Structure 1
């Protein structure tokens, strides 16, 4: 048996009640259609199959689904208080100089003004400067090009979060 097949969180996801699995998947991605697609393909033989289902579901998101998914993400540099996942993913901003944080806030606002949603980037492992540079660069994109970049970034985020879900020990009641 491979490690992914014995992943405790994956075993839980495969066997949990739909409402419990739905709640857990909502922590990964807020798009209802994504959650529905991932739920419908249970049970998963391994983490790779779960990630493939996620990629398919993310690729199939329409404009409303993408908007719903993005609404579940706080702006870069401003994770929701008490949201350990966003704080961990955005830790590259935590120690940034105040000037860079202020510039990121301005870039977030300009981005939201232009595209109508938060600047979404898979921030895991990126420095504050890399996130700032990406925001600067992506402001020049067309809405169509940016939508596909957002889809790719969302896919990366979903994969990281799902991998964590699959590997962690389920909480005992």
Structure 2
């Protein structure tokens, strides 16, 4: 399971400033949104973008191509922290000072039983599929995420790779929006 906030929160850039970065700098910024090096490099190569909507459409297009390569998809998923114990989950869901107020709303009051079930479910998922449970967490309570995890756990690996790719793209889009906010 993962949050939808970037691991390192870079300062917001304007689209114009992003377009002026070197390929290496732009790729580095994009890697804060999605850790697939192929996606980041390919998207950086498509600059300049006249408007954000063009960047988002290009990102979606590149992701559709990149995510078909399992190694690239797994590289993107590896960029998310694995949440594997109750203490980590308590910190994640009860300490919202480090995340935007709209992210994970309703999760602050998750009880210990839900958090313990999430920790166990995350481990069961990792053991079964070989990669972490990923979900676009914005607006979802801990109970809702547990319900999603338990619903997805019986799936086969191919179904989960497809679902993870969809969830990763949602997270990437949100991170791109945050990265390229008006400075």
TM-score range, shorter chain: 0.7 to 0.9
Q: Deviations over 1:69-128 (max 9, x none)?
A: 00001235476xxxx569985565443111111110000000000110110000011111
| 3-state SS of 1:134 partner | helix
Matches within 5 A, 1:3-152: 9-60=14-65, 61=67, 62-75=69-82, 77=89, 84=98, 89-90=103-104, 93-152=107-166
| 3-state SS of 1:167 partner | coil
Q: Aligned-pair RMSD on alpha carbons?
A: 2.4
* Structure with higher RCO (Cα < 8 A, 6+ apart): 2
1:89, 1:75 → 2: CA distance?
Answer: 18
Larger fraction in helix? 1
Residue 160 in structure 1 maps to residue 167 in structure 2: no
1:14, CA displacement in angstroms? 0.6
| 3-state SS of 1:73 partner | coil
1:74, 1:45 → 2: CA distance?
Answer: 33
Does the 8 Å CA contact 2:102/2:139 hold for their aligned counterparts?
no
* TM-score, normalisation: structure 2: 0.79
Which sections of structure 1, spanning at least 5 residues, go unmatched? Answer: 1-6
* TM-score, normalisation: structure 1: 0.83
2:181, 2:171 → 1: CA distance?
Answer: 16
Q: Deviations over 1:118-167 (max 9, x none)?
A: 10000011111110000000001111111111111011111111011111
